[in-house]
Structure 1
């Protein structure tokens, strides 16, 4: 892999991004599980009243679905009025990274904690094990040649599965050091691969914990080599700075957003015309020190030049009814609307939908926080949502913009 380019060329961008960095670096206070919210911001206790039943044996739901909420009339145009939300599977642990394979007609998704990958078969609705050992895979996508690209927390790398079945390592090191835990990944038609590398998987449950001295294991109490024999062959690794990366078609790795510019990067997506890049800055990482994200969505103008991003700005602060929501993954539809999975109190968590100007136009309430989502189905008009241990789906009246 070619050596990374110098980041000195980004001084111009750093100057233009100073105000944004100050905003992003400001800590967001997390609410404790037992904290009592003021009545003015207390969310409803259930998504519907009476409480809705979920699962294959649940009674039919009246349509339009009461948990698909129209805030702006434009959202109604994106909905198929006869569709209802369904929980199609609930045997996971923590589901992430849904991606649709157009050739295979299946939905690929990861169970990060169980270290497995599954696929939802379109023709039958059956969920089968795709890879029994995924090395704590998280984000997935398919490129414009139909090849699967996956972020692996445990091996701290991004890989691409070639058509002959071999695995190609897209990226596993930066400036001679291991990556942290690649989280989300997207493909560009020019052959480049973009991914975020926060430290959310630098722990025992979701990947490969830091060796002693790392941010997630500063005092060395975590016995980081226990449980996975491969750690001995990987060698020691500690968390590095959080970056958002781009790997071009030649395999050249470059930083497009540093930790100073956008800390704790998580989900990311392109606009349909590839003129914008959206990136989520999430909350505090396990063992992290002094670089909380702001739990907001940021947007940048995208260019073909060596300095690919400019005009940094806030897309949405993700505050709703006085509550700071937690955005995770997102996708754009063909009209440029952004569909974002969010965590938060029951009654508020689920999916938020924003128009291209950043205005909230609709919500999908679910009984679990949504980690990530994608559009799938032969016409790409089904929204699949990973939420905790469950997979949900909803037919819509729009289509996903990206290949997966």
Structure 2
């Protein structure tokens, strides 16, 4: 894999814990069809402890996203700017739980209800129209989840979600932990929970291909920082894994691990990773990077045309316009009529 000369010169003097200025870096000519070389990376809001889990709310033309350490969901819109949408977002206890107690991944179900992966309360929940939360799942076979992290909704209404230990005290090295695995689960509309993947060290971001035949998992593990694909059969059971991309092979070395990820309408994978965002085609070829100048956690397509990419990046909320767009929602985002 060749690194552009300008990119190499720019980064040649950087240490491993430093990030370069914002820029768009192309590794393949096809990347220029997805985003302009001079696309502006805008800062929309700042001051968060660790921003995460963005989702676009079409019904209200706004972005919702989590600030995990501060236990809050924020909203941002052109009209109203930044507002607190929900607090507490993921932990309702009276004692200190962990350094990441709040909500993480957010999504909408078929009726426009907000789904939440809650670290502190260790559950997958839904915000009802009357304002109260309802638990969809908080355990598997009687053992509490670690800390549900990210989710994606299938057109059937089933939900795939990951369960790493990031929201547990001491990263799960203590008596609070009940599940031995850092698993991936599927919740079905009849309430059944199935453990579908058990052999990942740090499963994190999760999404589906536009045709729903492939499940993608980002593993935030320093020894194996992989983006992994799984074929999905008619019963929604993932098949044999394929390491689509190993982010440790990127040069130069930049801070960050695969975390949140989404697909565009062509099926390309846009994932947070070293330096910001990495973009792959469905075969795992690196097409390009969006260097954000910040550790970047997650991303979401938004705007009326779904062509704007919103990025939750450490203390900031960012935005960049693309030439592509997110897939047409199958049912998980209630559109404005």
1:91 matched to 2:91? The reply is no
In the alignment, which residue of structure 1 is the partner of 2:95?
none
Deviations along 1:321-350, whole A, 9 cap, x unmatched? 16385111100000000001114xxxxx11
1:299 matched to 2:229? The reply is yes
In the alignment, which residue of structure 1 is the partner of 2:87?
132
Total equivalences in the alignment: 306
What is the Cα deviation at residue 45 of structure 1? 5.5
What is the Cα deviation at residue 217 of structure 1? 2.8
Q: Secondary structure at the match of 1:250?
A: coil
Taking the TM superposition and a 5 Å limit, the aligned residue runs for 1:39-118 are 47-48=20-21, 67-80=23-36, 83-118=39-74
What is the Cα deviation at residue 118 of structure 1? 0.2
Q: Secondary structure at the match of 2:296?
A: coil
What is the Cα deviation at residue 82 of structure 1? 6.6
CA separation in 2, counterparts of 1:73 and 1:47?
22
2:144 paired residue among 178, 181, 189: 178
1:270 matched to 2:208? The reply is yes
Taking the TM superposition and a 5 Å limit, the aligned residue runs for 1:1-400 are 47-48=20-21, 67-80=23-36, 83-124=39-80, 126-134=81-89, 135=91, 136-203=102-169, 215-217=172-174, 238-258=178-198, 260=199, 262-283=200-221, 294-305=224-235, 308-318=237-247, 319-321=249-251, 323=253, 326-343=257-274, 349-400=275-326
Unmatched 5+ stretches in structure 1: 1-38, 49-65, 204-208, 219-235, 285-292, 344-348
Deviations along 1:134-162, whole A, 9 cap, x unmatched? 12111111123221100111110010123
In our comparison, the structure showing a higher alpha carbon Rg is 1
CA separation in 2, counterparts of 1:150 and 1:396?
27
Do 1:144 and 1:188's aligned partners in 2 also have CA atoms closer than 8 Å? no
What is the Cα deviation at residue 270 of structure 1? 0.3
Cα distance change, pair 45–184 in 1 and its aligned pair in 2 (3 A): closer
CA separation in 2, counterparts of 1:44 and 1:167?
40
Normalising by structure 1, report the TM-score.
Answer: 0.71
Unmatched 5+ stretches in structure 2: 1-11, 92-101
CA RMSD of the aligned region, Å?
A: 2.3
Cα distance change, pair 395–157 in 1 and its aligned pair in 2 (3 A): same
CA separation in 2, counterparts of 1:170 and 1:399?
30
